[in-house]
Amino acid sequence: MRRFSWFNATSLTLGFAFLYLPMIILVVYSFNASRLVTVWAGFSTKWYGELFQNKDFLNAAWVTIKVAFFASTFATVLGTMAAYVLVRAGRFPGRTLFSGMIYAPLVMPEVITGLSLLLLFIGIGLDRGIVTVILAHTTFAMCYVSVVVSSRLVSFDQSLEEAALDLGCTPFEAFRLVTLPIIAPAVISGWLLAFTLSLDDLVIASFTTGPGATTLPIKVFSAVRLGVSPEINALSTIMIGIVTFGVITASLISKHTAVKQAREERAAERSA
Amino acid sequence: MAQSVFAPWEDSQQKPLIEFVNVTKRFGDFTAIDNLSQKIFEREFFALLGPSGCGKTTMMRMLGGFETPTEGKILLAGQDIGNVPPNKRAVNMMFQSYALFPHLSVWENIAFGLKREGQPKDQIAARVDEMLRLTRLEKFARRKPHQISGGQRQRVALARSLAKAPKLLLLDEPLGALDKKLRHETQFELMDIQESTGTTFVIVTHDQEEAMTVASRVAVMDHGKIVQVSTPDVIYEAPNSVYVADFIGDVNLIEGNATKAESGVQITWGENTAPLVSTNSDQALAGKRVVLALRPEKVSISVERPDAPNVLRGKVIDIAYLGNLSTYHVQLETGTMVKAQIANTRRVSRRQITWEDSVWLSFSATAAVVLEGGI
Amino acid sequence: MRRLALIAFPYVWLLALFLIPFAIVFKISLSDAAIARPPYLPLLELSEGWDGFKAFLAELDFENYVFLTEDDLYWKAYLSSLKIAFFSTVITLGVGYPIAYGMARAPDEWRPTLLMLIILPFWTSFLIRVYAWKGILSNEGVLNQALLGLGVINEPLTILNTNTAVYIGIVYTYLPFMVLPIYSALEKLDDSLLEAAEDLGCSKIQAFWLVTFPLSRGGVLAGCFLVFIPVIGEFVIPSLLGGSGTLMIGKILFEEFFANRDWPVASAVAVILLLILIVPIVLFQLNQQKQQEAER
């Protein structure tokens, strides 16, 4: 029965305008025929063409996707393990240090994480390149994954696992057959989060990368440091488009599942 | 004798404290309250009783100022309060969820309303202490709501809503969250407090037993209308409709056709059955389709055929043993089930009647109520 | 055995790639800069055994920290980072609270959509969102053109490459971090509490300050920490939107490392930054624990 009060409607309108106008402007100017922000010289998609001609950008994009894919996959495995240890493994020596190491990277300034990893790689004589970036991204992304997964594990009814054990599962089978399917949505969103974080990271990648492994954010950063570039607008538009599509699809799917479940529950009630 | 009976509603000279005048409340297409008029008097303990969705909560929320009537007026002491916001009304409410402020202690919760009035500090302290004493919460004054039990929380909510000494206190399912035993104790506490403070209470409940216990008058509601308003005994003994008879307590309903008898009416029903007589019924019912409503405790059960105006024969299908009482479910030859309730004055092992026994049921000519309509 | 492996694997990973790197940073912050590869001394020579280790320890000192206190660039940068973080947190709270409040009080069928709209920027590139403001705030940018066109100003405002642009960038990018915890606190608020406050004589505004705001305090604190802590070490926003006058420690550290190649000093800067952050991080953890306990 609630309605929007004028105050709430105004603050929401202004708030969302503030959040979305800059991105809309960015998208609009990616279609500007002129290189200058000042002038609107008509609609054109030529910057998209130039973007796809640019070998450097395409290479960087490919490197970034490779890094993001491997880093997020490793981070998901490690992060899920870490979450399981945090929530289910009970007490063990050094547990406090462990949970500290899980939560600290979330609030750690990226410059520090990046610097420390670089000094480590140099110290052990590991050549910097795509491998070191993947290692670095895995480390900070696994902490995000473990936070997402552990929040799901906490709300998870432990008696389900106990029931599986009671029915003859080994602990590993219980995890694979009962726990994992139930926490799967959290694991998937953890993977997506890790993927996005890796895709997006500039600072840590700048520290840990080496020759031949320039990622897209590094490329973009050096291109926009001095000013606005329409190719970058075009690139941004593509990225915003992908994210928007992904988020809207995901929310429609989850809404659909919720509606379906509610309908099925109601049907079950009625037939009972 | 007469002066000890509290019945202001029978005195036409009495001014009501609250008066609903042709009040209608709609939410979109849904009519929650349908052209309702009702008076409530000072010092009354008035219960609104009905199933969920009957409009009882809407009525209470209109009194509290959280809803405004779509049509009609609500008068408080003669003044129209339709558009007075809740914070300007001499009406307080005890919420179903208690709505205790979790960030404030028990003491601060009770003092909350008094502080808004800008009373001097020592006066507030005195009043809060008085309320704590009244509700026996002195020991818990410094605790936060989550540090006390459900029953104590209920008393804090009561103390908070009474602290401002409102003319009218609204109680929305006040005992719904308590377990049965605590609920019974609290019902008597509520009555004591209502009497000692002299406040008018309006209580909303779906628990008929609770309404009957605490209220001076009960209003039974259905689909936005008040079906019957009366004292608990009248509601129980003389319901004015099948709906009320069925809603309040346990009842046997037998449908049939009324014909005029020497005194009262006769009801013919079923096939090959003797008509039932009701000497205390209005003869105007003659010729109409009626329902005979009969409370189980007014039905006797025996092995031998008794000498009574109304006698039925059947077989015991089920016995529900409730400790003090036993309810026999008896199937008549027509297939109708009739419940008979007997006080267990003897031990169960001595019980004469058991499952599958053929028995006689009987009731007097004044035991039942005959109501117009069908089931 | 399995349990041990399960614990050991992520544990060792974090030790190797999180904790040990910090130990290295700390060690290098005590070393001296050198024109070599790696550009610092002393190096730990394991071949020399225990004596080598003692000699190595004797070479370490706090010289770099002394240097940091002597050059006012550094402590000014720390102070300025704290100042910018503090004010931008306050501004973000001022902008974010009404949004969170509006979302929490919105009709039920609207809330999932509003929530999605606030989360969506999370998934879009941080870099792109900061960059978007470059085109808006520059002298020939969209904002100045609009204001000139409307006749509000006669000549373009210089916003880009000033601290104002940095503030705008921070508020913009960190807004969801502020809105979400406040929203989740406000959403849990039971309507009947507000009705009870009104019933007991509060006006709507009083009910807000006496009930709604105190009960959303946990969310407000969480949001403030989530903005304040990362902003102190922020690098992208000051380097894209700030000017030469914008002193922020994340930027200094980056430059010290890449431009000056003074690794020991950069390490010392990082260690001190970490020490500064410990206080708000601990406070944040305490606040989170308190909130979790209150929920139980």
The Cα of C104 is separated from the nearest Cα of chain B by a number of Å equal to: 18
Is residue A189 helix, strand or coil?
Answer: helix
Q: Is residue A37 part of a domain?
A: no
- Do you find a cis peptide bond into B309, omega within 30 degrees of 0? no
**Quick one: pLDDT at residue A237?**
93
Q: Are B18 and B44 in contact (CB under 8 A)?
A: no
Is there a contact between C169 and C239 (Cβ–Cβ < 8 Å)?
Answer: no
Beta carbons of B99 and C214 less than 8 Å apart: no
Closest-CA distance of chain C to residue B277, Å: 53
Question: In 10 A of CB B321, how many CB atoms?
Answer: 11
Using the CB atoms, write b or e for C258-296: b if 16+ within 10 Å: eeeebbbbbbbbbbbbbebbeebbeebeebbeebeeeee
Q: At what angle do helices A55-88 and C2-14 cross, to 10 degrees?
A: 130
Same domain, A98 and A59: yes
Rounded Cα gap, residues A155 and C199, in angstroms: 36
Does A165 map to a domain? yes
Best of C186, C193, C199 to mutate (most B CBs within 10 Å, chain B): C199
Where would I find the H helices in chain A?
6-29, 46-53, 55-88, 95-107, 110-123, 130-154, 158-166, 171-174, 180-200, 203-208, 216-224, 230-271
DSSP summary character for residue B54 = S
Task: For residue C189, give the amino acid letter.
Answer: L
pLDDT at B4 over 70: no
The pTM for the full model equals 0.85
What's phi and psi for C288, nearest 5 deg? -65, -45
* CA count, 13 A, side-chain hemisphere, B273: 23
Candidates A1, A3, A10, A26, partner chain C, best to mutate (most C CBs within 10 A):
A26
With contacts defined as CB-CB under 8 Å, which chain B residues touch C215?
101-103
- On whether any CB of chain C is under 8 Å from the CB of B96, the answer is yes
Specify the domain boundaries for CATH 2.40.50.100 within chain B: 250-372
Domains of chain C, CATH where assigned = 62-295 (1.10.3720.10)
Mean pLDDT to the nearest integer, B108-122: 91
CA B251 from chain centre, in angstroms, equals 16
What integer pLDDT is reported at residue B140 of this predicted model? 94
Say which residues have a Cβ less than 8 Å from residue B280's Cβ, sequence separation at least 6: B264, B365, B366
A30 inside domain: no
Q: Which residue has the tokens 């990622």?
A: A215
User: Which residues touch B237 (CB under 8 Å, ≥6 apart)?
Assistant: B369
Residues A116 and A212 reside in one and the same domain: yes
A84 and A101 part of one domain: yes
Mean pLDDT of the B177-206 span: 90
What is the nearest CA distance from B74 to chain C, expressed in angstroms? Answer: 17
Number of domains in chain A: 2
Q: What pLDDT sits at residue C47?
A: 60
| Neighbouring chains to C with at least 3 Cβ pairs closer than 8 Å | A, B
Using CA of residue B331, residue B337, residue B343, residue B349, what is the dihedral sign?
Answer: positive
Q: Provide the pLDDT confidence category of residue B2 given band limits of 50, 70 and 90.
A: very low
Statement to judge: residues A208 and A76 lie in one domain: yes
Counting beta carbons within 10 angstroms of the beta carbon of residue B240, is it exposed (0 to 12), middle (13 to 18) or buried (19 or more)? middle
Q: What is the mean pLDDT of each successive set of 10 residues along chain C, which is 296 residues long?
A: 82 92 87 66 61 67 79 87 96 96 91 90 89 89 87 87 94 95 92 92 92 93 92 92 88 84 85 89 84 72
For residue A197, give the nearest of C171, C18, C127, C239 by alpha carbon.
Answer: C127
Contact A117 C17 (CB under 8 A): yes
The pair of three-digit structure tokens given for residue B24, joined into one six-digit string? 């209608």
Q: What is the ipTM of this complex?
A: 0.87
- Considering the domain architecture, whether residues A192 and A246 belong to the same structural domain is answered as no
**What gap in Å lies between CA B103 and CA C87, rounded to an integer?**
28
Distance of alpha carbon C250 from the chain centroid: 10
Whole domain around residue A76: which residue ranges? 51-227
> What is residue C183's predicted lDDT score, i.e. its pLDDT?
95
Position A32 in a domain: no
Tell me the mean pLDDT in the region A248-261: 85
Is C117 in CB contact (< 8 Å) with chain A?
Answer: yes
Flag whether A4 is in a domain: no
| Residue A64 covered by a domain | yes
Do the domain assignments include residue A149?
Answer: yes
Mean pLDDT across B298-321: 90
Type and span of the H or E element at A201: none
Q: Which CATH superfamily is domain B2-242 in?
A: P-loop containing nucleotide triphosphate hydrolases (3.40.50.300)
Could you give the 3-state DSSP secondary structure of residue B197? helix
Q: How far is B153 from chain C (nearest CA, A)?
A: 14
Q: Which of C31, C93, C113, C134 is the mutation pick for testing A, counting most A CBs within 10 A?
A: C134
Residues of C in contact with A217 (CB under 8 A): 125, 127
- Among A99-108, B10-19, C37-46, C132-141, the minimum mean pLDDT is found in C37-46
Say whether residue B95 is in contact with chain C using an 8 A CB cutoff: yes
Residues A216 and A236 reside in one and the same domain: no
At A78, is the pLDDT very low, low, confident or very high (cuts 50, 70, 90)?
very high
H or E segment at C39? none
Quick one: closest CA in C to B96, which residue? C192
Quick check: B304 pLDDT over 80? Answer: yes
Interface probe for C, chosen from B58, B97, B101 (most Cβ of C below 10 Å), is B101
Largest CA distance in chain A: 72
Cβ–Cβ gap B99/C206 under 8 Å: no
Which chain C residues are within 8 Å of B101, Cβ to Cβ?
193, 196-197, 211, 215
Comparing C67 with A238, the larger pLDDT belongs to: A238
The answer, for C214 touching chain A at a CB cutoff of 8 Å, is: no
Q: What 3-state class would DSSP assign to A174?
A: helix
* Residue A228 DSSP one-character state: -
- Which residue in C has a C-alpha nearest to residue A15's C-alpha? C99
Closest in C190, C198, C201 to B117, CB measured: C201
Query: Are residues A251 and A181 part of one domain?
Result: no
CA B292 – CA B375 distance, rounded (Å): 10
In a shared domain, residues A185 and A263: no
Indicate whether A179 and A251 sit together in one domain.
no
Topology at the third CATH level for domain B250-372: OB fold (Dihydrolipoamide Acetyltransferase, E2P) (2.40.50)
> Are B259 and B334 within 8 A, CB to CB?
no
Q: Does A52 touch chain C (CB under 8 A)?
A: no
Residue A36 domain-assigned?
no
Find out whether A107 and C284 touch, Cβ atoms under 8 Å. Answer: yes
Q: Residue B10, exposed/middle/buried by CB under 10 A (0-12, 13-18, 19+)?
A: exposed
Cross-chain Cβ contact A220/C98 below 8 Å: no
Instruction: Return the pLDDT at C224.
Output: 95
Which residue intervals of chain B bear CATH 3.40.50.300? 2-242
CATH classification at residue A97: 1.10.3720.10
* pLDDT of res. B1: 40
Tens of pLDDT, residue by residue over A122-155, are 888 888 899 999 999 999 999 999 999 998 888 8
A231, pLDDT greater than 90 = no
Of B66, B85, B113, the CB nearest to C200: B113
For range B191-196, the mean pLDDT:
90
C-chain residues near A98 (CB < 8 A): 7, 10-11, 14
Q: Which residues of C touch B97 (CB under 8 A)?
A: 190, 192
Q: Residue A3 has what pLDDT?
A: 77
Nearest to A12 among C102, C145, C267 (CB): C102
Which residues in chain C have their CB less than 8 angstroms from residue A82's CB? 10, 14
Q: What subunits make at least 3 CB pairs under 8 angstroms with B?
A: C
Residues in Cβ contact with B352 at an 8 Å cutoff, skipping those fewer than 6 apart: B303
Q: CA C272, CA C250: separation in Å to the nearest integer?
A: 12
Q: What is the pLDDT of residue A39?
A: 74
Give CA–CA dist B202/B191, Å, rounded: 12
A166/A244 same-domain check: no
Q: How many residues does chain A have?
A: 272
Q: Does C145 touch chain A (CB under 8 A)?
A: yes
Q: Give the gap in angstroms from C-alpha B81 to the nearest C-alpha of chain C.
A: 14
Q: Does B93 touch chain C (CB under 8 A)?
A: yes
Q: Are residues A185 and A254 in the same domain?
A: no
- Whether the pLDDT of residue A63 is over 60: the answer is yes
Instruction: Kindly state the average pLDDT of the residues B19-24.
Output: 94
Asked if residue A141 and residue A161 are part of one domain, the reply reads: yes
Among A108, A199, A216, A245, the residue to mutate for chain C (most C Cβ within 10 A): A108
Neighbours of chain A (3+ CB pairs under 8 A): C
DSSP track, B127-146 = HHHHHHHHTT-GGGTTS-GG
